[in-house]
């Protein structure tokens, strides 16, 4: 494998078939640009990246004429978010007043969402999705990225590209290979990810349960709950050492209606540790390369907004680069404009997440029963208060709209 393989040459090579990569690939292909998306796994069937499709994303699907079709896929709808603090329930966010067509969060396994978008993109002959192709490095000439090196099921290849876009998530090879400097915020929490059965009559809406030094989030996936059990970073070995029974009891103590279902957790293999990171690149681009989504700014699961932000990056990138790419290439100035336009909204969102981590850290360090703070009681009793968090979570700080055709 010496020379780049010209038969693979493309205008835009996107590394990573997550929400940012597939949406961007779809939008660029739809606008008539030749695009190849590389995804290192053979399918989208992975259980760890969040299932939330937010109102602003549903609005993007509406603008693309795809909303109705999308909502025929199995999903559940959340029109409000609540928190159960020390046994008392509080309505935190109400999406029903948002100025969009779908006033709810759609909960759908992410593989269904990605399969849907990829199938829509496949209608365009200039769209190529290479599953099971893993980028291993960047092709570079005189400091300019000129494409991607990848391992494929048939061996290594070199893919020439006018523009490479890193959508390869928190551990992006793109940003490492381009030596883009990273600022790490440091995060005090991790998430244990597990499933528990859901029974008829169980709560339907998104719920976080806070008590006895624990925060447990339940995501309704119809016949089961996807459970996020928040722990202080680095404490999983101690939790394991205390034994499965103690772990089961800690869930039941905080979420009493799950009593007798936790016996399903009969092996630590059923409990995955997901590490949380929040970081951002100082510079999202270098000549021939742009990073977006978690590759440019890894998001925490707090607020379930990372997918939304990654998709908004993708829409903004397509809006801003389509004209240049149709004309042949995007200049370093074009690439820098994407960061300039998006970074304030992204950084402010990360600041909110970092603040939330501090609050969570306090919760995790108080093993006793929690008393709901007075401020929470006052705020949630103000008429219309729920619309503010709904805007932040549901639309984000800088909602995007489709400007390409």
Q: Which residues bind ligand FAD (CB under 6 A)?
A: 15-21, 38-41, 49-52, 134-135, 167-170, 173, 191, 274, 276, 293-295, 299, 301, 304-308, 310
Provide the token pair at 78: 């959340």
Considering the complex, state which of residue 39 and residue 59 has its C-beta at the smaller distance from ligand FAD: 39
Measured from the CB of residue 348, what is the shortest distance to ligand FAD in angstroms?
16
Q: Which residue, 43 or 223, has its beta carbon nearer to ligand FAD? A: 43
- Give all strands (DSSP E) within 22-154, no chain letters: 35-39, 52-53, 76-78, 80-85, 88-94, 105-107, 127-131, 134-141, 144-152
Sheet holding 76-78, edge to edge: 52-53, 105-107, 76-78
- Choice between 47 and 323, CB closer to ligand FAD: 47
Q: What minimum distance in Å lies between the beta carbon of 380 and ligand FAD?
A: 22
Of the pair 49, 280, the CB lying nearest ligand FAD is at 49
Q: How far is the CB of 52 from ligand FAD (least distance, A)?
A: 4
Select 41 or 355, whichever has its Cβ closest to ligand FAD.
Answer: 41
CB within 8 Å of 1: residues ≥ 6 apart: 155, 156, 157, 158
Provide the minimum distance between the beta carbon of 64 and ligand FAD in the complex, in angstroms, as a whole number.
18
CB within 8 A of 178, min separation 6: which ones?
138, 145, 166, 286, 289, 291
Give yes or no for a contact between 286 and 180, defined as CB atoms under 8 angstroms apart.
Answer: yes
Helices (H) and strands (E) in the chain, counts: 11, 21
Identity of the residue, 14 or 254, whose beta carbon is nearer to ligand FAD in the bound complex = 14
For 72, the enclosing helix (H) or strand (E) is: none
Q: Is 214 helix (H, G, I), strand (E, B) or coil?
A: strand
Residue 128, SS3 per DSSP: strand
Which residue lies nearer to ligand FAD by CB, 133 or 247? 133
For residue 43, the 8-state DSSP code is S
Residue 352 or 379 with smaller CB distance to ligand FAD: 352
Question: Between residues 28 and 295, which has the closer beta carbon with respect to ligand FAD?
Answer: 295
3-state secondary structure of 127: strand
Task: Compute the least distance from the CB of residue 230 to ligand FAD, in Å.
Answer: 10
Cβ–Cβ < 8 Å for 78, 95: yes
CB-neighbour burial class of residue 385 (10 A; exposed 0-12, middle 13-18, buried 19+): middle
Provide, rounded to whole angstroms, the least separation between the CB of residue 60 and ligand FAD: 14
Bridge-based pairing of strands 144-152 and 224-232 is unpaired
User: What is the closest distance, in whole angstroms, from the C-beta atom of residue 84 to ligand FAD in the complex?
Assistant: 18
Rounded least distance, CB 259 to ligand FAD, Å = 25
Q: For residue 174, what are its two tokens?
A: 């793109």
Cα distance between residue 11 and residue 395, in whole Å: 31
Provide the minimum distance between the beta carbon of 311 and ligand FAD in the complex, in angstroms, as a whole number: 8
Q: What is the Cα–Cα distance from 216 to 219, expressed in whole angstroms?
A: 10
């Amino acid at each position: 494998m010496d020379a780049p393989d010209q038969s693979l040459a493309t205008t835009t090579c996107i590394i990573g078939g997550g929400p940012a990569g597939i949406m961007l690939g779809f939008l660029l292909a739809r606008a008539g640009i030749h695009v190849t998306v590389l995804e290192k796994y053979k399918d989208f069937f992975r259980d760890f990246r969040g299932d939330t499709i937010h109102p602003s994303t549903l609005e993007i699907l509406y603008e693309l004429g795809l909303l109705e079709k999308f909502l025929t896929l199995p999903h559940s709808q959340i029109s409000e978010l609540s928190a159960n603090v020390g046994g008392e329930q509080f309505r935190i966010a109400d999406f029903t007043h948002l100025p969009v067509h779908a006033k709810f969060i759609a909960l759908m396994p992410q593989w269904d969402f990605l399969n849907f978008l990829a199938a829509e993109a496949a209608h365009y002959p200039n769209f190529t999705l290479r599953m099971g192709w893993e980028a291993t490095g960047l092709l570079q000439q005189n400091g300019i990225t000129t494409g991607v090196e990848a391992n494929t099921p048939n061996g290594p290849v070199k893919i020439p590209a006018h523009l490479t876009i890193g959508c390869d998530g928190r551990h992006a090879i793109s940003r490492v290979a381009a030596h883009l400097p990273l600022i790490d915020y440091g995060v005090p929490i991790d998430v244990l990810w597990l499933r528990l059965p859901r029974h008829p009559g169980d709560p339907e809406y998104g719920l976080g349960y806070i008590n006895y030094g624990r925060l447990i989030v339940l995501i309704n996936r119809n016949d089961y709950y996807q459970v996020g059990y928040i722990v202080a970073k680095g404490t999983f070995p101690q939790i394991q050492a205390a034994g499965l029974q103690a772990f089961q009891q800690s869930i039941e103590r905080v979420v009493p209606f799950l009593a007798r279902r936790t016996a399903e957790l009969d092996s630590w293999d059923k409990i995955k540790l997901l590490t949380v990171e929040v970081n951002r690149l100082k510079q999202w681009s270098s000549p021939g390369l742009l990073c977006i989504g978690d590759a440019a700014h890894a998001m925490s699961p707090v607020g379930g907004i990372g997918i939304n932000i990654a998709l908004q990056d993708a829409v903004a990138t397509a809006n801003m680069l389509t004209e240049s790419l149709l004309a042949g290439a995007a200049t370093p100035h074009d690439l820098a404009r994407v960061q300039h336009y998006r970074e304030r909204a992204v950084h402010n969102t990360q600041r909110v997440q970092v603040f939330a981590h501090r609050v969570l850290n306090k919760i995790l360090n108080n093993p006793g029963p929690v008393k709901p703070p007075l401020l929470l009681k006052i705020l949630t009793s103000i008429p219309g208060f729920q619309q503010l968090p709904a805007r932040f979570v549901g639309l984000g700080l800088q909602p995007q709209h489709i400007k390409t055709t």
